[in-house]
């Protein structure tokens, strides 16, 4: 069911008619509500779960997402905070686990991952730090276990492993190393022993 309330707003010498639109679930709970202007969403819109808990808050300009957007889990905890600019994801966004702890944070440009993104384990330890360009991994990457020990580090070139990569065990000791050339292993790769001794590893 959709209920519409027409509000007339005076803007300069023009009279603008905004429709406050309320959509309901079959149980009568509000599903969404916000304003329509010229048949497009305008300003703040709120969305709700059938339980009545808030699902999302979105902001619109001329029918396109614009400004801060928040999403929520069914229990009311924050799930994500995004920034939009005329229908495009831009700037810093944050995403959270169901218990409220930070899951990942990073930058968007034109709705694609760009720059540094950080991912976290559920115990809040850093899980991965990776750089992106135009939505693809590009630049340095580091990966960690949930105790903070380094597991991998290397580089990407537009989505493909490139350059030196190193791999470590759960205690942070180097176990393998070698070079990539745009996703392909090249040259000599090495395997390392408990005391740091190395030998050529056939891949």
- If asked whether residues 31 and 119 sit together in one domain, one would say no
The three-class DSSP label of residue 9 is strand
- If asked whether residues 71 and 117 sit together in one domain, one would say no
pLDDT digits (tens, 9 = 90+) for 90-126: 999 999 999 999 999 999 999 999 999 999 999 999 9
Q: Which of 51, 86, 121 is the last residue of a domain?
A: 86
pLDDT digits (tens, 9 = 90+) for 129-151: 999 999 999 999 999 999 999 99
Q: Which of 27, 62, 86 is the last residue of a domain?
A: 86
Predicted local distance difference test score (pLDDT) of residue 17:
61
Contact 160, 179 (CB under 8 A): no
- If asked whether residues 131 and 67 sit together in one domain, one would say no
Query: Residue 145: which CATH number?
Result: 2.20.110.10
Query: Residue 38: which CATH number?
Result: 2.20.110
Q: Which domain holds residue 202?
A: 101-203
Q: How many domains in the chain?
A: 2
pLDDT digits (tens, 9 = 90+) for 157-203: 999 999 999 999 999 999 999 999 999 999 999 999 988 899 999 87
Predicted local distance difference test score (pLDDT) of residue 12:
44
User: What is the number of alpha carbons within 13 Å of residue 152 lying toward its C-beta?
Assistant: 13
In a domain, residue 92? The reply is: no
Report the DSSP beta bridge partners of residue 113: 108
Listed residue (33, 27, 25) closest to 1, CA to CA: 25
pTM of the entire predicted model:
0.87
Q: Which of 26, 58, 86 is the last residue of a domain?
A: 86
Predicted local distance difference test score (pLDDT) of residue 36:
93
């Amino acid at each position: 069911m959709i209920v519409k309330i027409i509000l007339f707003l005076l803007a300069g010498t023009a009279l603008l008619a905004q429709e406050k639109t309320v959509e309901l679930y079959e149980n009568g709970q509000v599903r969404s509500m916000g304003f329509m202007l010229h048949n497009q969403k305008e300003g703040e819109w709120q969305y709700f779960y059938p339980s009545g808990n808030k699902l999302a808050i979105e902001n619109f300009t001329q029918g396109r997402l614009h400004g801060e957007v928040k999403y929520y889990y069914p229990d009311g905890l924050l799930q994500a905070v995004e920034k939009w600019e005329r229908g495009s994801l831009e700037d810093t966004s944050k995403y959270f686990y169901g218990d409220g702890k930070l899951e990942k944070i990073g930058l968007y440009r034109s709705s694609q991952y760009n720059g540094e993104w950080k991912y976290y384990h559920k115990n809040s330890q850093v899980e991965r730090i990776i750089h992106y360009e135009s939505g693809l991994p590009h630049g340095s990457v580091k990966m960690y276990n949930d105790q903070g020990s380094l597991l991998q580090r290397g580089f990407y070139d537009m989505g493909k492993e490139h350059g030196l990569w190193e791999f470590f065990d759960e205690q942070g000791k180097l176990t393998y190393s070698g070079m990539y050339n745009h996703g392909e292993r090249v040259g000599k790769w090495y395997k390392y022993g408990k005391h740091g001794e190395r030998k050529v590893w056939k891949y």
